[in-house]
Chains A and B, each alone.
Chain A
Amino acid sequence: MAWFKKTRKPIEPQTDKSSRVPEGLWIKCPSCGQVIYNKELTINLQVCPKCAHHFRMNAADRLAMLFDDGQWTEHDADLRSTDPLSFTDTKPYRARLKASIASTGRNDAVVSASGLLDGMPAVVAAMEYGFIGGSMGVVVGEKITRAIEMGIAQRAPVIVVCCSGGARMMEGTLSLMQMAKISAALGRLDRAGLPYLSIMTDPTTGGVTASFAMLGDLHIAEPKALIGFAGPRVIEQTIRQKLPDGFQRAEFLLEKGMIDYIVDRREMKAAVAHSLRIMMGLPPSARPVASAPPADA
């Protein structure tokens, strides 16, 4: 009578692992399958209202969310890579740069800005995943270093929102050296007694993790963000077996002692502000602090 017992598996939502910044009117959540109105998603800071899946967020929205009234001053927006190696793979690097500049409206994969965060002057650099996977080349290195130096000069805390696949191969060893450059600047910030907060979002891997992402006074992560040094595929090739679910996710790193806390994006600004107030020796905020959606939402 086996056929009576045959249990039909419920139709599972298709898990599309690559969560992109959504486009179009309606978006299907890759985690729970819920169809979400795009505008609602924007107002909800790119977090699924049903299951709290965190979609990727672009740098501008990230800055709007953190700075008071969505107001900030951008710095070094004009810096652009010269393609120092004249690199060509299946496509010239110059062409890739041009395409990314056109699609993101940015010159490279980070936006650095200063402004007020819960009334406190702060310098924030937010990475743009849409620009060649948020990879770190000389421009990213230079802009983050300048942001740190600005923090030192103005005695302001520095925050970096990481979202990157790692060093940019197309700029070769110069990309690798950006890890050293930024870390040296962070050393000076550290010795100047100023706070540095590293916010890790999905994904934070490679050379970014092995430099500024892991040098924070605080390591703050978004839920389920992929955070690691070697990519999961490389590790699977090394150990010749499949990695367990949840390996290199934020919760795993919390368990292993690598990050301070995980916070929902909608609570991110409040958490950051609270931590900064304690580090800067300020009283609690007089008014409630809320992460704000971009002004055009």
Chain B
Amino acid sequence: MPVATLEFEEPVAILLKEIQALRLMPSTPDRQTTIARLEARVQELRAELFGNLTPWQRVLVARHPERPVMLDYVDRLFTGFTELHGDRRFADDKAIVTGMAHFHNKPVFIVGHQKGTDTKQKIYRNFGYAKPEGYRKALRVMKMAEKFKRPVIVFVDTPAAYPGVESEERGVAEAIALNLREMALLDTTIVVIVCGEGGSGGALGIAIGDRVLMQEFAVYSVIPPEGCAAILWRDSARKVDAADALKITAPDLLAMDVIDEIVPEPVGGAHQDHALATALIDEAIARHLAEVSAMTSADRLETRYQKFRAMGREGHAFVSAPLAAASE
């Protein structure tokens, strides 16, 4: 099965169909060269298309059905992954996976949203919409990492926290809030990578760290573009405009210092080549982990505090201007 193409990949899709048709015919040296030429053209087109993606197109890439999900990365990055279940209070949330493993032979703890790949898995994982018990499980495991002084690696990929009755009843807001506070104080290294959709508070609830990395075509937003369009434009069809206005892409967020580094993806997005996408993540995580782990604990905590303290800086995001000057 070829990887599904997105709506804006139309020119690529046409070429791919052509290649497929040629492949069905008896192979001749002539056809082989044509196929090779077309394939080269596909790569070229892809590089061109993905070099100029609009924010909304990036949203589509981040949500691509074949984009690697957390457990795909876990399989390739770590050895001896042992999943740890449950928040010890209410249940085991399937939308957040926690565990421990070795990363380049060093013991680490792992936390992340898991979306699921096929329909059955997606339903089992609640499409990556975590409930309060997911955030509480994450905190439990991170506290354990702190106890044993092991680093935590976090994968962020969720549309949002689950907006349902039971979420509210069990205090999803409190669960996220507590994570924000305790992760800021957690006395061990935390490296976060936003590898798909960084959906609002549901993402932030496990995304406090010494380093926050972001994959090239991932998005990170205060509200999904559809939701923003429905509220501000009163028309969810204006999602393309909303995606533009919200500044949710990795380059935008790097410019605002919301993230520390963009992790590149294979040409055409991570879904084109899971192995290469993983290798690129591997290098970035290993480097940041080494840098942060070399810091003293007091240094690390102070730097982490100042990192988030500086989100929205004076002079950039706000100024000091007396009210009297407001009329101009």
Name B's interface SS.
Answer: helix
Name A's interface SS.
Answer: helix
Contact between A207 and B222, CB atoms less than 8 A apart? yes
Q: A178-B311, A181-B308 are contacts. A173–B256 as well, Cβ < 8 Å?
A: yes
Q: Which residue of chain A has its CB nearest to the CB of B179?
A: A183
Q: A174-B256, A180-B180, A230-B167 are contacts. A188–B172 as well, Cβ < 8 Å?
A: no
Q: Nearest Cβ in chain B — how far from A235, in angstroms?
A: 5
Contact between B177 and A89, CB atoms less than 8 A apart? no
Partner-binding segment picked from B45-53, B64-72, B317-325? B317-325
Partner-binding segment picked from B11-19, B136-144, B181-189, B265-273? B181-189
Indicate with 1 or 0, residue by residue over B295-314, a CB within 8 angstroms of chain A CB atoms.
Answer: 00000000011001101101
Q: How far is the CA of A106 from the CA of B228 in the complex (A)?
A: 25
Partner-binding segment picked from B79-87, B111-119, B246-254, B279-287? B246-254
Q: How far is the CA of A171 from the CA of B228 in the complex (A)?
A: 12
Q: How far is the CA of A80 from the CA of B325 in the complex (A)?
A: 11
Contact between A210 and B309, CB atoms less than 8 A apart? no
Does any Cβ of B come within 8 Å of A6's Cβ? no
Q: A177-B308, A230-B167 are contacts. A210–B173 as well, Cβ < 8 Å?
A: yes
Indicate with 1 or 0, residue by residue over A146-186, a CB within 8 angstroms of chain B CB atoms.
Answer: 00000000000000000000010111111111111101111
Does any Cβ of B come within 8 Å of A239's Cβ? yes
Does any Cβ of A come within 8 Å of B218's Cβ? no
Does any Cβ of A come within 8 Å of B155's Cβ? no
Q: How far is the CA of A184 from the CA of B317 in the complex (A)?
A: 19
Contact between B245 and A79, CB atoms less than 8 A apart? no
Does any Cβ of A come within 8 Å of B200's Cβ? yes
Contact between A180 and B248, CB atoms less than 8 A apart? no
| Residue from A81, A178, A235 within 8 A of B165 (CB atoms) | A235
Q: Which residues does chain B contribute within 8 Å of A187, judged by CB atoms?
A: 181-182, 184-185
Q: Nearest Cβ in chain B — how far from A101, in angstroms?
A: 5
Q: A78-B321, A230-B168, A239-B164 are contacts. A90–B181 as well, Cβ < 8 Å?
A: no
Q: Which residues does chain B contribute within 8 Å of A81, judged by CB atoms?
A: 317-318
Contact between B201 and A80, CB atoms less than 8 A apart? no
Interface size band for A: 35 or more
Interface size band for B: 35 or more
Contact between B177 and A177, CB atoms less than 8 A apart? no
Contact between A214 and B309, CB atoms less than 8 A apart? no
Does any Cβ of A come within 8 Å of B277's Cβ? no
Contact between B177 and A228, CB atoms less than 8 A apart? no
Q: How far is the CA of A191 from the CA of B186 in the complex (A)?
A: 12
Does any Cβ of B come within 8 Å of A215's Cβ? yes
Contact between B163 and A210, CB atoms less than 8 A apart? no
Contact between B248 and A142, CB atoms less than 8 A apart? no
Q: Which residues does chain B contribute within 8 Å of A76, judged by CB atoms?
A: 320
Q: A102-B326, A181-B308, A258-B171 are contacts. A169–B231 as well, Cβ < 8 Å?
A: yes
Contact between B163 and A230, CB atoms less than 8 A apart? yes
Contact between B222 and A229, CB atoms less than 8 A apart? no
Contact between A176 and B174, CB atoms less than 8 A apart? no
Contact between B311 and A172, CB atoms less than 8 A apart? no
Q: Which residue of chain A has its CB nearest to the CB of B180?
A: A183
Contact between B309 and A184, CB atoms less than 8 A apart? yes
Indicate with 1 or 0, residue by residue over B169-207, a CB within 8 angstroms of chain A CB atoms.
Answer: 111111011101110110000000000000011001100
* A residues in contact (CB < 8 Å) with B: 76-82, 84-85, 87-90, 98, 101-102, 105-107, 137-139, 141-142, 145, 167, 169-181, 183-188, 190-191, 206-207, 209-215, 228-230, 234-235, 238-239, 243, 247-248, 256-258
* B residues in contact (CB < 8 Å) with A: 161-165, 167-174, 176-178, 180-182, 184-185, 200-201, 204-205, 208, 220-223, 227-228, 231-234, 241-242, 245-248, 253, 256, 258, 304-305, 308-309, 311-312, 314, 316-323, 326-327
10 contacts between A and B (CB under 8 A): A85-B247, A138-B318, A173-B248, A176-B201, A177-B258, A177-B308, A187-B181, A187-B185, A210-B201, A215-B177
- Beyond the given A172-B245, A179-B204, A213-B173, could you list 14 further A-B residue pairs with CB under 8 A, ordered by the A residue number? A84-B256, A89-B232, A89-B245, A90-B233, A102-B327, A138-B311, A142-B312, A169-B223, A171-B222, A184-B184, A210-B205, A214-B177, A234-B163, A257-B171
